[in-house]
Amino acid sequence: MTRFKLVLEYDGAGFVGWQRQATGVGVQQAVEEAVYAFSGETPTVVAAGRTDSGVHALGQVAHVDIEKTVPTGRVRDALNHFLRPRGVAVVGAEAVSDDFHARFSATERGYLYRILNRRAPPALDRGRVWWVPMALDADAMQAGARHLVGRHDFTSFRASECQADSPVKTLDHLAVARDGDEIHITARALSFLHNQMRIIAGTLQFVGQGKFTPEDVARALNARARSAAGPTAPPEGLYLTHVAYDGT
């Protein structure tokens, strides 16, 4: 048995999220079916984080145990052969030690939220960005974002159905920058609460529009109530960009 670490890119649009749902196919299922197609085995594929329906990944990490003896490069190429029509790509595959765990060994997760901020809707990036046609002040959004960096009780910034034991998380990095017609929100933390990035994006968009002042973000945080923060931004602007592990 060899444990493989897989780095996955996927288009969230075709999936109900990482996990299978009654309503449709999960990315996990697509990868497990590809593992079965080339190995005849049915192991569980475990991801660093369970992305929601419609959320994309540039660098999701998963692990899977395979009994069949296969060279590492062949694992990547064989999985891609079966995954290619499904909007999932195995960007990297490497053999790792048996104690590597995609979820529990992770030391950092990174996200990017893309807002297309122009009057015209996206043509080439449909389903890849959140389209916000009204002018947004990226500097004000950045000023608001500063209040969220650090260790806080993020009760205001998690979905009501969030199952994490504690709402206390440490946000190591959160920044807002304009890049032409786009506004990019980047974040890094050991882990995130359910919908945390999307509620942060929705709240910062309120700041960009002038519905909130930057200081209102601190007030929303301190209120410790979901209703105090802004709306949950749509999933299509969100990307899991990377997962880091000790020594990587």
* Residues that constitute the known binding site for substrate: 111
**Binding-residue pattern over the window 119 to 158 for a copy of itself, x denoting contact by CB under 8 A:** xxxxxx-x-x------------------------------
Show the tokens assigned to 121: 């809707």
Closer of 77 and 98 to a copy of itself (Cβ): 77
**HEC per residue, 206-223:** HHHHCCCCHHHHHHHHHH
Q: How far apart are CA 171 and CA 191, in angstroms?
A: 8
- Nearest approach in angstroms of CB 219 to a copy of itself is 35
Q: Which of 10, 18, 82, 111 binds a copy of itself (CB under 8 A)?
A: 10
- Name which of 9 and 153 has its Cβ closer to a copy of itself: 9
CB 189 within 8 Å of CB 152? no
Q: Which is nearer to a copy of itself, 90 or 193 (CB)?
A: 90
- In whole angstroms, what is the distance from residue 243 CA to residue 248 CA? 10
**Contacts (CB under 8 A) with a copy of itself, residues 79-118:** 80, 83-84, 87-92, 118
Q: In terms of DSSP H, where are the helices of 84-158?
A: 138-145
Kindly write down the DSSP assignment for every residue of 13-33, as one continuous string. GGSSBSS-BTTB--HHHHHHH
Task: Name the minimum Å distance from CB 57 to a copy of itself.
Answer: 8
- Nearer to a copy of itself by C-beta: 83 or 207? 83
**For residues 40 and 85, which CB has a smaller minimum distance to a copy of itself in the complex?**
85
Which of these segments, 72-80, 141-149, 170-178, 187-195, binds a copy of itself (CB under 8 A)?
Answer: 72-80
Q: Is residue 179 among the annotated active site residues?
A: no
Site stretch for a copy of itself (CB under 8 A), options 8-16, 101-109, 194-202, 209-217? 8-16
> CB 234: neighbour CB atoms within 10 A?
16
Taking a C-beta distance cutoff of 8 angstroms, is the pair 6, 90 a contact?
yes
**b/e 61-84 (16+ beta carbons within 10 angstroms → b):** bbbbebeeebeeeebbebbeebbe
CB of 75 to a copy of itself, least distance (A): 11
For the bound state, the minimum distance from the C-beta of residue 169 to a copy of itself, rounded and expressed in Å, comes to 27
Class of residue 247 by CB neighbours under 10 A (exposed 0-12, middle 13-18, buried 19+): exposed
Residues making contact with a copy of itself (CB under 8 A): 9-11, 56, 58, 73, 76-77, 80, 83-84, 87-92, 118-124, 126, 128
The catalytic site residues sit at: 52
